[in-house]
Structures are given as structure tokens and as C-alpha cells.
């Protein structure tokens, strides 16, 4: 049996699951999560693996100290995927609540900032607004 490699961050990670849908809102959620990962705020993690119930993805998610779901539109696919995988205790950010409407929110640096700023604050506080 092989020994499991320790987390690179040294502590339980803050995981970010983001919509990556085909619309502009999905692109915004995805790019915001990627920027937050680059900035060291948390680690973007695989929503498809979670939805596929892959044991390694589920196990790592269970060990997270915080989980943030970033949904691009009111369908809340990320939220539902986390719940379907058995997760109930997570933070949730819906882009429509920020005034970023699917089909009307181009992928710009300003719009990405409009997502990363409250998402970063949400992870820091650890509670839903």
C-alpha cells in the first residue's frame, strides 16, 4: 500500500469549485477561481471529478478546511453538484447576486475583479453573506 502524499499547502486546503459553463458568466466564474488560485487565496478544484464521484476528489474535498462554490448563473450547478456529492457545509457565491447576468457580462479584468473581491472576502470570513 502506498503512502499518501501530504498536502502541499501544509494545512487543509481552501477549495474553490467554479462554474465553467459555455456562457460569459461561466467563463467569469472559471477565470475568477483560476485567479484566486494564482493569488494563493485557495485552490481551484475539479468539479467534474466531484460530479463523477471520483474517490480521490471526494476524499480531498472532505479534508478541505473551507469550500467555496462559485456559480455563474441562477441554475446553481456548482451548488447542486456539491450537494449531490454529499457536501452541505460550503460557502456559495452566485454571480447574478453581484449584478453579473448571464449573456450580459463580458469576460473582462474588471468583471473578474467583481467576482474575486467578494469571493476572497467570503473565504476569509468563512461565512455566507
pTM of the model: 0.89
Q: Are 57 and 67 in contact (CB under 8 A)?
A: no
Q: Which domain holds residue 61?
A: 15-123
User: 3-state DSSP: the chain helix, strand, coil percent, rounded to 5?
Assistant: 45, 15, 45
| Count of domains forming the chain | 1
Is 50 exceeded by the pLDDT of residue 128? no
Q: Is residue 21 part of a domain?
A: yes
In whole angstroms, give the CA distance from residue 107 to residue 23.
Answer: 10
- 6 is a domain residue: no
Share of the chain above pLDDT 90, in %: 87
Q: Is residue 129 part of a domain?
A: no
Contact of 103 with 49, CB cutoff 8 Å: no
Residue 109 lies in a domain: yes
pLDDT for res 12: 86
pLDDT tens column, 31-71: 999 999 999 999 999 999 999 999 999 999 999 999 999 99
Q: What mean pLDDT is reported for the chain? A: 91
Amino acid at each position: 500500500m502506498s503512502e499518501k502524499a501530504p498536502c502541499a499547502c501544509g494545512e487543509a486546503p481552501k477549495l474553490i469549485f467554479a462554474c465553467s459553463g459555455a456562457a460569459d458568466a461561466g467563463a467569469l466564474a472559471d477565470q475568477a477561481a483560476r485567479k484566486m488560485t494564482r493569488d494563493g487565496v485557495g485552490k481551484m478544484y475539479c468539479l467534474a471529478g466531484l460530479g463523477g464521484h471520483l474517490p480521490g476528489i471526494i476524499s480531498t474535498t472532505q479534508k478541505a478546511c473551507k469550500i467555496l462554490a462559485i456559480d455563474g448563473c441562477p441554475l446553481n450547478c456548482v451548488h447542486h453538484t456539491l450537494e449531490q456529492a454529499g457536501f452541505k457545509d460550503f460557502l456559495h457565491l452566485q454571480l447574478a447576486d453581484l449584478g453579473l447576468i448571464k449573456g450580459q457580462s463580458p469576460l473582462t479584468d474588471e468583471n473578474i475583479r467583481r467576482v474575486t473581491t467578494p469571493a476572497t472576502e467570503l473565504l476569509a470570513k468563512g461565512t455566507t453573506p
